[in-house]
Amino acid sequence: MISPIRNVAIIAHVDHGKTTLVDALLKQSGTFREGEEVPDCVMDSNTLERERGITILSKNTAVRYNGTLINIVDTPGHADFGGEVERVLGMVDGCILIVDANEGPMPQTRFVLKKALEKGLRPIVVVNKIDRPQADPYGAIDKVLDLFIDLGADDDQCEFPHLFASGLSGFAKNELEDEEVDMQPLFEAILTHVPAPVGDPEKPLQLQVTTLDYSEYLGRIVIGRIHNGTIHAGQTVALAKGDEANLVKGKISKLMGFEGLSRVELETASAGNLVAVSGFADANIGETITDIDNPQALPLIKVDEPTLQMTFSVNDSPFAGREGQFVTSRQVRDRLMRELETNVALRVEPTDSPDKFAVAGRGELHLGILIETMRREGYEFQVSQPQVIYREVNGQPCEPFEVLVMDVPDEASGSCIERLGQRRAEMQDMRVSDNGRTQLEFVIPARGLIGFRGDFMRITRGDGIMNHSFLDYRPLSGDVETRRNGVLISFEEGTATFYAMKNAEDRGVFFITPGTKVYKGMIIGEHNRQQDLELNVCKTKQLTNHRSATGDELVQLQAPVDMSLERALEYIGSDELLEVTPESIRLRKLSKKLARR
């Protein structure tokens, strides 16, 4: 007896509560045994996801409700990982759009909803976090309807079902006045409004690869949806790499389905199921596992092109090779090529130098996650300042524009507007709340956002929230003013001393602390003025036999600026490089020898 199936994706803007809502669904479905200790955001299993509190990779889980198997795909909320969202929407027949009851639709909400509507999906809207102060559930519903209309949704899609929920408290309800009990209304909405999968088990097999995983015992595991046909463990099939003319013969060594957080071994699965298959070491995303006697390939998955590019190169600083395990151009190139297999929104191209690679992605966070992952794996390399990718549209040079939404204290709104005006931003909306905060919406060239986050943090004193997502390509907007002070540069190799840094403290702020090893050309801080300044921070105090009158006083340095990876990527200029090793992140000036090359 084949049980009914529903395939649904959960989509939303970052931090609107997707993963927490999945936690509530898993708990109610009986996935966890009684008394089992379950961490929050259990689907965020990646180390970086747990550290940053965001979803980076899409993941599958499955629950059973009233005899129906509900396959759930949890997707990333950040705009930079939109490629993950685009490829998994082809696996599902419906989606749950989650919107924060306080914030309403945000930039990424527009992106994921647009992709869902293009696929013909009819979203179920869940207004989440209704138990928070200042929540406005009905206001959020009105804003979502405006967004549907703005995106050109048809009449049927605009008549979307909606629920009110709190993933943290574990309840959903159809009306605000209803009693807060459990997640049953959401389960019922999925069964009612998400159509059963369409597919013919009697047709030739068609399974499209949408996600790749790896196991030390099974090797590469491909995850995807069976669009047509039936698949069996041990079956001999073909992998279509693009079309029916390019086939690779293979065997299904293991067939698995999803149950809760684990995978269960299956003997057979038919059209509509989401399955994991091992036995294809060379399979890539978008390819089709098909019948060997009657091969029929599905169209390859298309995702939006990258908008930001930077150069990865072999580290050639004076400290090169001291901290990394993989340091050669061949090792860096092989790692980037492996990333292309799973990261569909990434592009890697060779340059005129064998030691440099042009890497393009969706944004600074997208590329930053790749850099952080590589350094944790033991790679050592250096990267250049991010640059936007220009295109020619209808014979006219164009650049990428983004929608920027900010929530700032009232007293900081004027400074934000002034600074963004210098970066060619155009204000679209401004709303002043009763709680002393202002919501601002801009359209801004993507290059105007490079390096802006540091300014934004200073203007709002860390009390502002900003989100942005890709809008479209538009004609060039002219020069963008991204003024930044000069930098402090070490002109000697050695160890930074407290004595030298204290004497130079009035020249600017430091990125290093006493005891840090430095080299000639390394950026050690930001100058108070526009021009760069070279300093000797390794100078030591000359010892004498005279006792200093102030020798017993406690002297302290001002706190250094902590340059995280994302902050450093935004900070570096066109003539600077970021040196990345498993142990350190250093900024340096581009050497004249390297510049000539």
List of domains in the chain? 5-193 (3.40.50.300), 206-290 (2.40.30.10), 391-475 (3.30.70.240), 487-572 (2.40.50.250)
Count CA atoms closer than 13 A to 434's CA, side-chain side: 3
**For the chain, percent helix, then strand, then coil, each to nearest 5?**
25, 35, 45
Neighbours of 367 (CB within 10 A): 24
**How does residue 40 score in pLDDT terms, banded at 50, 70 and 90?**
very low
Inter-CA distances, 415 with 441, 455, 458, Å: 14, 10, 10
What would the mean pLDDT of 375-402 be, rounded to a whole number? 89
With a CB cutoff of 8 Å and minimum separation 6, the contacts of 268 are 230, 231, 232, 233, 255
Residue 341, judged by CB atoms within 10 A of its CB (0-12, 13-18, 19+), counts as: middle
pTM over 0.95: no
Count CA atoms closer than 13 A to 257's CA, side-chain side: 21
pLDDT > 70? residue 34: no
Inter-CA distances, 592 with 315, 573, 597, Å: 15, 15, 9
21 with 167: CB under 8 angstroms?
A: yes
pLDDT > 70? residue 18: yes
According to the per-residue pLDDT averaged within each range, which of 296-300, 477-481, 523-527 is highest? 523-527
Neighbours of 523 (CB within 10 A): 26
- For residue 65 the two structure tokens come to 């409700």
CA neighbor of 444 nearest in space, from 453, 436, 435:
453
91 with 73: CB under 8 angstroms?
A: yes
What is the spatial distance between Cα 406 and Cα 546, in angstroms, rounded to a whole number?
58
Inter-CA distances, 220 with 68, 215, 337, 347, Å: 29, 6, 16, 22
Identify the pLDDT of residue 482: 66
Q: How many percent of the chain have pLDDT more than 70?
A: 87
With a CB cutoff of 8 Å and minimum separation 6, the contacts of 111 are 79, 82, 85, 469, 470
